């Protein structure tokens, strides 16, 4: 009879979150918010609606590009792992040549 492991803490191994938002998005979103408030609303004197649209667009773009679901990760080639029977030779430390022993008679 196989024993199943009992889950003690369901959040172990999950991504850290702050409410519904991933924790790794909080700092970039804060920077996008500050940039939107200072530049779009402060420097360009845009309305709050335009500022809000800019901030929402920035958050959505950042979340899409940097999410852990790896939107950009699909452009990274995955390694192809195969079995091989060739001896590994290091480029940095090549093997020393084998010295033949002289036999005395």
Residue 70 pLDDT: 55
Q: Is 18 inside a domain boundary?
A: no
Question: How far apart are alpha carbons 25 and 33 in whole angstroms?
Answer: 12
Q: Is 44 inside a domain boundary?
A: yes
**Which of 82, 80, 78, 30 lies closest to 55, judged by CA?**
30
Residue 89 pLDDT: 76
33 Cβ contact list (under 8 Å, min separation 6): 55
DSSP, collapsed to helix, strand or coil, labels residue 56 as helix
Q: Is 55 inside a domain boundary?
A: yes
Q: Is 3 inside a domain boundary?
A: no
Residue 9 pLDDT: 72
**Which of 58, 29, 54, 30 lies closest to 41, judged by CA?**
54
Q: Is 39 inside a domain boundary?
A: yes
Q: What is the pLDDT along the chain (105 residues), one digit of tens a residue?
A: 566 766 677 777 777 888 888 888 899 999 999 999 999 999 999 999 999 999 999 999 998 888 755 555 555 666 667 666 777 777 887 777 777 777 666
Residue 38 pLDDT: 96
Q: Is 13 inside a domain boundary?
A: no
What is the number of structural domains in the chain?
A: 1
Instruction: Kindly report the backbone phi and psi dihedral angles of residue 18, in degrees, each rounded to the nearest multiple of 5, phi listed first.
Output: -120, 90
Residue 105 pLDDT: 63
Element (H, E) at 46: none
32 Cβ contact list (under 8 Å, min separation 6): 55, 58, 59, 62
Q: Which residues span the domain enclosing 43?
A: 27-67
């Amino acid at each position: 009879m196989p024993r199943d492991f009992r889950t003690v803490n369901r959040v172990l191994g999950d991504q850290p979150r702050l409410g519904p938002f991933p924790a790794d998005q909080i700092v970039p979103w804060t920077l996008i918010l500050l940039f939107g408030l200072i530049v779009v609303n402060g420097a360009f004197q845009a309305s709050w609606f335009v500022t809000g649209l800019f901030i929402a667009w920035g958050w959505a773009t950042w979340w899409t590009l940097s999410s852990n679901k790896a939107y950009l990760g699909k452009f990274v080639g995955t390694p192809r792992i195969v079995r091989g029977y060739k001896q590994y030779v290091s480029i940095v430390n090549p093997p020393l040549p084998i010295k033949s022993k002289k036999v005395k008679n």
